[in-house]
Structure 1
Amino acid sequence: MDYKHLLFIALISLIACCTIMALIWLWAKKIKNAGVVDVFWALNFPVITLITFFLSNGFEPRKLIICSIFLLAELRLGIHLWQRVICHLSEEEGRYQQLRKEWGDKANRNFFVFFQFQAISNVLLAVPLFIITANPSTQISILEYIGIAIWAISFFGEMIADRQLATFKKDPKNKGKVCDTGLWYYSRHPNYFFEWLTWMAYFIFALASPCGILAIISPAIILYLLTKVTGVPNNEEQNLRSKPEAYKKYQQTTSAFFPWGKKDGKGKR
């Protein structure tokens, strides 16, 4: 495996993502809506995928497989986020409004740094892609087939969770209520869980390649971000502000991340 070539691909990807995020920051500053960063965080991955596909020198069929599923998953997520954000482009999401209030006069500067960190995270999370596409082996391993199977489960799981929530929100009767049906019955954030599972699939796929163990960085970072930083915590805070009583009851009975059975409200299942 040519490590210098891998670093070259990662560097080109980083330059591309940082440039895109700088331009998106200028747009977000103009429209006063930092929420667009979520959309382009997802859409940066297709850019990395194309760069990697054309510059990497691994086994072509393997490259085609991993780049195809990587591209499909992130395009779906990007389009889903775009549809969500574009509906209220003039109204910034609550979590970003809160950050803007906390940062005050330094908001624009801090958002620029935040956007650039998003670009850096894009490249770090793409480590499995870099490793897999550099693998010259002409044999497809059982681990790679397992990775594809887990990816399929996570892809459809996340898509179903997103659609269930969107359908729930469209119904005027559900205003002020909490979505606790379908996959949302088992987890307060099933979409985040399946997003993490997608990255676990890439990690398992990468284990069949030289130095594949390094790909653990992706699901580890995603798990940390989703459960401790920008995912669950911010979403929970926003839900507690918008529907405090209903969401507190939901928290008492439903797992925060991993799908699980209901609790009795006293912490027991």
Structure 2
Amino acid sequence: MSHRSTGFAVVAVIYAVAGLVGWTIGFSYPLITFYADIGATIVVFVASMIVGNASVYDPYWSVAPAVITMAWLGDAGARQIAVLVLMLAWAIRLTANWAMSWRGLGHEDWRYTRLRGQRVPFWLVNLVGIQLVPTLVVFAALLPVWPAMTVTGRPWNWLDVVAVVVTAGAVVLEATADRQMHRFTREPANRGRIIDRGLWRHSRHPNYLGEIMFWWGMWLFGLAAAPGWWWTVAGPIAVVLLFRYVSIPMMDRRSLERRPGYAEHMRRVPALLPVPFSS
């Protein structure tokens, strides 16, 4: 527990400094926010190199969007309150899920440890692949939140209702998938086994599906507020590509190495969308 407490204290200080840098740069409009987001990421990167643990960046995925959304809040109408509440619910749940699994500064995500010792210097892999790319993807996904939080000319409409259903459903889906996974892994008899119960019976990565749904819901809020911002659909598309071509293949390769029968499991259970929605 002392190692965990020390690790969380260090992370808290790092993120306080990163937040101060971001706030100094400002959040007045998206371009300035982009600079602030990059500046905060650089702070986290430097700190991760000092402490020798790239997992210091992991909570940034869920912490930064909530901070940016609150900074963008203008007049608090129904749409703005809905976006803020759903964003905070998503951020708190995802950050808490990271905190439950992180064991301190001596614990680095297995994906990062695999990247050490490659031909490319790890500092470059850490800066670009582990930190800057996710920051850019999440910032792109956040762009529709700007009109949702600042444009007040269009009243609450049916598209907002759809956005609430999709986004709230995504948070519930992620929370349920994580709870089922934690319950499964706590049982000693399941060590080395493949989870095939609950949501995991119908999708190999229901938590990733929920994450993708969340950002599509945020795009719907932006579309409801300002249809001219439809082009921000590039954000949720980038999230889909990140999970589909990076996160899911890495997780599947690891499971193939560690769990007998996972190849058959992959043939039976689709990666994201449950049958009959998955091709």
- TM bin, normalised by shorter chain, reads 0.7 to 0.9
The reply on whether 1:27 has 2:27 as its aligned counterpart is no
Letter in 1 for 2:183: T
Q: Following superposition of structure 1 onto structure 2, how do residues 99-114 of structure 1 map, counting pairs within 5 Å?
A: 99-103=115-119, 106-114=121-129
C-alpha distance in structure 2 between counterparts of 1:221 and 1:81, whole Å? 22
Alpha-carbon distance change, 239 to 30 in structure 1, aligned in 2, over 3 angstroms: farther
- Deviation at residue 8 of structure 1 after TM alignment: 4.6
Give SS of 1:102's match: coil
TM-score, length-scaled by structure 2: 0.81
- Deviation at residue 251 of structure 1 after TM alignment: 0.8
Structure 1 residues not aligned, in runs of 5+: 1-6, 264-268
Match of 1:182 in 2: 198
Match of 2:212 in 1: 196
- Deviation at residue 60 of structure 1 after TM alignment: 3.2
Letter in 1 for 2:142: A
- Deviation at residue 62 of structure 1 after TM alignment: 2.2
C-alpha distance in structure 2 between counterparts of 1:212 and 1:138, whole Å? 13
C-alpha distance in structure 2 between counterparts of 1:176 and 1:188, whole Å? 16
Instruction: Report which stretch shifted further, 8-17 or 148-157.
Output: 8-17
Contact 2:177–2:206 (CA under 8 A) maintained in structure 1: yes
Matched residues, number: 250
Q: Following superposition of structure 1 onto structure 2, how do residues 82-93 of structure 1 map, counting pairs within 5 Å?
A: 82-84=99-101, 86-87=102-103, 89-93=105-109
Contact 2:138–2:239 (CA under 8 A) maintained in structure 1: no
- Deviation at residue 197 of structure 1 after TM alignment: 1.0
- Select 1:70's aligned residue among 87, 95, 101: 87
Match of 2:261 in 1: 246
Give SS of 1:79's match: helix
The reply on whether 1:163 has 2:179 as its aligned counterpart is yes
Contact 2:48–2:54 (CA under 8 A) maintained in structure 1: yes
- Select 2:253's aligned residue among 230, 237, 241: 237
Alpha-carbon distance change, 248 to 31 in structure 1, aligned in 2, over 3 angstroms: farther
Match of 1:4 in 2: none
The reply on whether 1:46 has 2:69 as its aligned counterpart is no
Letter in 2 for 1:71: L
The percentage of aligned residue pairs carrying the same residue is: 23
The reply on whether 1:173 has 2:189 as its aligned counterpart is yes
Contact 1:151–1:198 (CA under 8 A) maintained in structure 2: yes
- Select 1:130's aligned residue among 135, 146, 151: 146
Match of 1:3 in 2: none
Give SS of 1:177's match: coil
The reply on whether 1:218 has 2:238 as its aligned counterpart is no
Match of 1:10 in 2: 30
- How much is the aligned-residue C-alpha RMSD, in angstroms? 2.3
Alpha-carbon distance change, 127 to 258 in structure 1, aligned in 2, over 3 angstroms: same
The reply on whether 1:208 has 2:208 as its aligned counterpart is no
